Chain A
Amino acid sequence: MSPLGKRIFQFELRAQLRSPGLWAALLVVAALLLFNSVDSWESAPAQLLIKLVGGVTSFVFLLSAFVTLNGLSREEREGFSDVFYALPPTNAAIYGGKLAAAAVSLSGFLLLVLSAALLVGPSQGEFGLQYWTVSGLLLLETALAVAAGMAVAALLTALVTQHRSRYVLALLWLVGVTLLVGLGFASGRYEWLSFSPLNMGEDPYFFSLIFGFFPGSAGIARHMLVQVFLVVLLFLVGRHRFLCRRENVDQRLRRLIASALVLLVASFAWQYAAWGQYRATVAAQVNYHADARFSKADSNARADWQSLSGEGDLRYGVGVAQNFHVARYHINLRLAHPQNGLQAEVIMLIEEPTQSSLFFTLHRTLAIDGVAWQPTLGESLNAAAQSANPSWQPIAWQRAGDYLRVDLPPNAVVSPEESLLLRITYAGPTNDAWLGWWGNNPVQFVTKQGAYLQAQLGWYPLPGGWRLGAAAGVMVNGVYKAGMPPPQPLRLTSPETGYRQSEFHLQVRTRPEWQVIANLPATGTIVWDTCPSVPSFTSS
């Protein structure tokens, strides 16, 4: 920096540090971090950090733009610009100094993110490589959000003479970027996310960071690359506009702009190609919307909630108290069939069925094929689990939204110390399911390399009535890492239910190279059976 640039930098830094705007911005971000942490403190540390920071970057972007604009337009606001711009410092010194001061004062955002990282991990006992990788990436992401905000501010200062309109336009810029991201999500064109600096907490990157799914760290790097070139391009175009106004434009600057543009297009094309590959392979196969089973799911929902409702309070996530205990699950699962996303046969060993109606929670997009029962009569569950066993007797059931009621025949209601076997077969989409205007709610998240089964999303029948997924605000709670020992219990505990843990036997049949992750109770034993050729189910 030239000596005059340094003078301006020092003056600006002092002015920024004195301005209440900067402190308000830092306070807003600190408050947001705190607010997000209250919301999802129970998540595993790395995910919690992503949630904390991912929700904040859009504000960081906007506040950076505002703080930078505040510095850049100081002279205009004070009516000093005529004198100021007729002083010896060149444009480069003026804007270099001002932008450097803004960058230094905005590094407070980075300090906030860093302190969140230093607080969350150690306080939850996590020192792993993944955690620190995530922390580093989030710091980078925040830095990019700051840089993008500053670049937009610089560009707007160069293009717009009215200093008040610049703030409005910066806000509109954020709205535009958000819309672009929304459109990208809605149409499955994730490459559009790269134009926003704000997506580390969004599904593709989130699952990448936690499980190493597609697009993986390379996808994140490509996203950041697009961002870097975008930021460089915005700065260069801004500089070009300034020079056009007050000085002569250097031919070299034009060349720089052209090269930045080429690099931006190239990096975006790279990201586009990668996501295009994803669309052509995985997404095409798991796209389930046109499938007949989906309409069956609608027809399953024939009873309304009123006809099912018993006691219980929905506010605590409990619609219907469970009046029985599932001692053991035997889940036979088939994933990512070309036509059918998920097919399941679940046999449950039910203890103490003291009432004739059993309530379960099963995601609404999973359509039920049939429900059958048989008394255990001393047989082992494994022997009874042969689905061809002729002693299964079909029974009546009703569906309402995410809820399922099974009505046992009179002879099945037994004394508290006895038990029975219940078999439920169902199928449904494996990817996003349209749930009306409430948005998409995936039963599982499926990518190129595998599937992640989230118990909170009700992909198997949960005993009792629960609010699922986003509705319960537990979308990502209790998400665990690939390769970890079987996870801890579900976080579906509530004072009203004496929840007891079940034992799980899970058999997954899926494509050979797939990775499948589930967060089932610690007592479960999970059998990964990844056969290349999958024998199809026989439904009763």
Chain B
Amino acid sequence: MHGALRHKGRRKDRLALTAAFKCIFLLCLASLRAGRRREGLKQREAAALAFSIQITDLTKQYRKGPPALNKVNLNIQSGMFGLLGPNGAGKTTLMRILATLLQPLSGEVYVGGVNLADNPGAVRAILGYLPQDFNTYRRLTVRQVLDYVALLKGLDAAAARRQKVELVLAQVHLKEKRHTQVAHLSGGMRQRLGIGQALLGDPQLLIVDEPTAGLDPEERIRFRNLLVEISKGKVVLLSTHIVGDVESCCSRLAVLNQGNVCFTGSPAELAAKARGQVWEIAAAEEQHTTLPASARVIATRRIGDTVHRRILSPMRPLPAALPVEPTLEEGYLQVVKAGATP
């Protein structure tokens, strides 16, 4: 009697156990299937992308402080697009959103007609990204890092991958350092490695955040030319503080200030923003003149004994001042100043 009861209890235990294990099995199966379905979808959509970026009313708010991006509207066509702006303007924030690393508070981003929020995988599949401070696995060699990134970008065939890595090594001038550990690279070399990994996989969308920071003049020029060369038919988004970089290679640019876009257009249009507001004064060195409060000295050049000063001012600062054709930098300063005052 006792035995029979106990036996029954055991059987009940066993039944419940089997049921529980079945549940676990089904749980695992369901989650696996869901993952596979999503991945397939992303790849199909990536192929359908055309290359322009449409940003509407994009707002990003960090936990503290004012919005880092405030209703940003931008239309970026293929070619090189420059992003200018003072420190803290929101350039990195915008680029991190485009690189699918940050989620905006509101607004929409379409990359070639695909909504970024709905399908970040499609954007990652065509993206090359260089963050503002690039670093990577310290213990690996330059080649190993590039090889791993190439693998993750889908370069499966070993021979093709090796070829591509060698090409990129040549492009960023790191061929001799290919067997050096990342930890032993100089800052500029590491930055070049960062550029190199962004170039791998022929990305249709290349986002580079202050890529020329830390590069020597020779490397900077080499990099600019490289960008111009590869930007055909692709979107290259470049942020920088060095106006010269933008001037020499970008067909279009935007100026961000405090999360607002205060200018979009070509470099010539930006320069034109300061037309009629840039003046030059040539004076002997010892001559000292006081300028009105609204005027700002932008550049000082010494030719022989005379000092030439370029001045940004809404009106003629001194009777001797002559109006001159503004440079891009002056246009930028004018736009940022105008954007900050209202």
Contacts and interface: CB of A to CB of B under 8 A. Distances in A.
Contact of A248 (B2, B118, B148): B118
Contacts of A252: 30-31, 34
Interface in B114-139: 117-118, 120-121, 124-125, 127, 129-131, 133-139
A263 B100 contact: no
Given A80-B137, A246-B100, A248-B118, A88 B124 contact: yes
A72 to B, nearest CB: 15
A87 B131 contact: no
B39 A92 contact: yes
9 contacts: A7-B152, A82-B131, A86-B124, A87-B149, A88-B124, A90-B38, A218-B10, A229-B20, A260-B27
A228 interface: yes
Contacts of B154: 4, 88
A268 B116 CA distance: 43
B135 A79 contact: yes
A260 B125 CA distance: 33
A260 B133 CA distance: 41
Interface of A: 2-4, 7-8, 11, 18, 74, 78-80, 82-83, 85-90, 92-93, 96, 218, 221, 225, 228-229, 232, 236, 239, 245-248, 250, 252-253, 256, 259-260, 263, 267, 270, 513
B286 interface: no
Contacts of B149: 83, 87
Nearest to B28: A232
Contacts of B100: 85-86, 246
B112 to A, nearest CB: 16
Contacts of B135: 78-80
Contacts of B99: 82, 86
A248 B118 CA distance: 7
A contact face: mostly helix, strand, loop, or mixed: helix
A86 B129 contact: yes
Interface residues of B, number: 49
Interface string B13-35: 10011001001100100110011
B152 A4 contact: yes
A80 B136 contact: yes
B129 A82 contact: yes
Interface string B75-104: 000000000000000000000100111010
Given A4-B152, A259-B23, A82 B101 contact: yes
B contact face: mostly helix, strand, loop, or mixed: helix
Contacts of B64: none
- Of the candidates A86, A89, A221, A250, the one having the most CB atoms from chain B within 10 angstroms of its own CB is A86
A74 B139 CA distance: 12
Contact of B23 (A2, A90, A263, A270): A263
Contacts of B27: 232, 256, 259-260
A121 B22 CA distance: 34
A270 B42 contact: no
B151 interface: yes
A243 to B, nearest CB: 10
Given A88-B154, A89-B152, A252-B34, A83 B16 contact: no
Contacts of A85: 100-101
B20 A83 contact: no
B16 A87 contact: no
A267 B20 contact: yes
A246 B152 contact: no
A263 B26 CA distance: 13
B44 interface: no
Contact of B153 (A8, A88, A248): A88
